[in-house]
Amino acid sequence: MLIAHLSDTHLMTPDTADDNQPAAQARVENLSAAVARVNALSPAVDAVIFTGDMAQHRAPEEYALAREILSALTAPLYVIPGNRDCRATLRRNFAADGYMSGEGDAPILYAIDDYPVRLIGFDSQSGFERKGDVDAAKMQWLDATLAQAPNTPSAVLMHHPPIPVYTSDYPWQWQREEAGNELASLFAAHPQVTRIFSGHSHRAYQDKLGDILVSTVPSIAVDLRLGDFEPQAETHPIFQVHRFDSDNGFTSETIIADNAAINNAA
């Protein structure tokens, strides 16, 4: 199974960007290039995951723009909200894809059982705070959902990485210190969880939560991306492709969405 992992586009429109028009245009171009590069991959990916912060200002027109660009993907798309996102507006634009449960501003939680790896969408948003959080209801849902398929390899998608990102000036991005321990204890009871995919940090990072590897992907928005990159990647969006096989689990590759690569793969 092949999964393309995108995150943190922070899209703006001309009406929402105010005096930041160059960044708004660049972010549209960044996402468009990433979508084209995903579509050009050979072999083709089976699914695309998007781990939050799709919009910059929660404006309906920003989500409509995202939907317009992302609709060009040739593989199924699964999204979860980030701290910047409006759940209700995200739902209105993507609920037609059929995998989102709940209504309005309720947490976006889902399980996808169509692949060799079960994809668990887990909403780590905490209202209007930048940092993430979990509550009893979300934890009960996650525990029950994982218990439904104890023998199926599973990957959890959540915006906030449930680990400290030590290359950041603000390593811990959860409201409560206990949240990491709560999640680690829950996942320890479900050893079929083999990977956690996150965004939020705008950089590539990985570490373990218990026995589970957690990885973050750089922001598609190049102007917000953090970390050091090779010269050929400095001006191009970057995403990751995760390959799963039953013998080796997940292996990951970083992909540069540059025009030459898109043209060569087409």
Give percent of the chain above pLDDT 70.
97
For the CA atoms of 151, 154, 156, 161, the dihedral, rounded to the nearest 10 degrees, stands at 100
What does the pLDDT look like over 184-227, one tens digit per residue?
A: 999 999 999 999 999 999 999 999 999 999 999 999 999 999 99
DSSP state of 67: H
What does the pLDDT look like over 40-82, one tens digit per residue?
A: 999 999 999 999 999 999 999 999 999 999 999 999 999 999 9
**All domains of the chain, ordered by start, with CATH?**
2-265 (3.60.21.10)
Pairing of strands 193-198, 154-157: parallel
DSSP state of 197: E
- Spatial distance between the Cα atoms of 206 and 166, rounded to a whole number of angstroms: 10
More confident residue, 266 or 100: 100
pLDDT band at 128 (very low <50, low <70, confident <90, very high): low
pTM for this predicted structure: 0.95
**Is the pLDDT reported for residue 265 higher than 60?**
no
Which neighbouring-strand residues pair with 212? 209
Q: What ranges in 42-135 are assigned the alpha helix state H? A: 60-70, 87-94
